[in-house]
Amino acid sequence: MSIDHCYLVVPASGTGSRMNAKIAKQYLMLDNGLSILDQTLKTLLNISQIKGCVIALSKQDVHFKDSKFHNHPKLLSLAVGGKQRYHSVLNALNALKPYAKTTDWVLVHDAARPCVQAADVTRLIERLKNSPTGGLLATKVVDTIKQAVNNLTTHTIDRSNLWRAQTPQMYRFGVLLDALLLADDNNIGITDEASAIEYVGLQSMLIEGSTRNLKITKPEDLALANFYLNTQSTL
């Protein structure tokens, strides 16, 4: 029986308008001298189980050519970013077709999550290796959650079964491709890979990750990411 390999897809074509920056947020520099995207790739491409990578970039991207990972041996292809995130993922999956078989694994990770820890990703891979479908890193909700209308509370939501989805989200190549294609054909709003999997009636396993795996969205997130990265070696 052939071995099921793991491949990485990184959608990195967003503009990050909420950062109020002159360049796309994935190219903002961190305190360690790496861009957000390069820090993300540094962590993930050093994981031995990941055999190859496809990055989805905007057609207007002029920065990745200067990345230290532009000629990385694990970089199999560049894909064109789509209108929405899941379109970028679909384009990347199509670029993976010459390399991946249907039972292989694809880990989709947000470019703007540079604090992801290799140990969490390795644990995700190990926990899911025998799953027919896949799953994702997530953290349990610890805050009190309010439902509101026009900024006025209507009730408190039971948080005991609530999780905050993170990335990577890891699925069998064929399962994920089929789910995204079906969701796209039916114009279903897909915010992450797990929602496409749910749409086709499948379940995802939740693997608890770290709250440090934040997604940089607003300017204050950049400072927090720098703090996490600066203290990571002391953990």
* Number of domains into which the chain is organized: 1
Could you tell me the pLDDT band of residue 25, with boundaries at 50, 70 and 90? very high
Strand order across the beta sheet in which 6-12 lies: 75-80, 50-57, 6-12, 105-108, 163-172, 134-140, 205-208
Mean per-residue pLDDT, 92-110:
97
What's the whole-model pTM score? 0.94
pLDDT value at residue 2: 62
Query: Scanning the structure block, which residue is given the tokens 């052939």?
Result: 2
- Percent of the chain scoring above 70 in pLDDT: 97
User: Does residue 1 fall inside a structural domain?
Assistant: no
Could you tell me the pLDDT band of residue 233, with boundaries at 50, 70 and 90? low
For all residues of the chain together, what is the average pLDDT?
94
Taking only the tens place, the pLDDT of each residue in 204-228 is 999 999 999 999 999 999 999 999 9
| Cα distance between residue 35 and residue 65, in whole Å | 13
| Cα distance between residue 12 and residue 203, in whole Å | 26
| Cα distance between residue 201 and residue 36, in whole Å | 34
Q: Is the pLDDT of residue 16 over 80?
A: no
> How, if at all, do strands 205-208 and 145-149 pair?
unpaired
Return the structure tokens found at 205: 């396993």
Q: Is the pLDDT of residue 203 over 60?
A: yes
Q: Is the pLDDT of residue 50 over 60?
A: yes
Range of the domain at 225: 6-234
The CATH number of residue 62's host domain is: 3.90.550.10
Q: Residue 219 belongs to what H/E stretch? A: helix 219-231
Q: Is 177 helix (H, G, I), strand (E, B) or coil?
A: helix
User: Does residue 87 fall inside a structural domain?
Assistant: yes
User: Does residue 124 fall inside a structural domain?
Assistant: yes
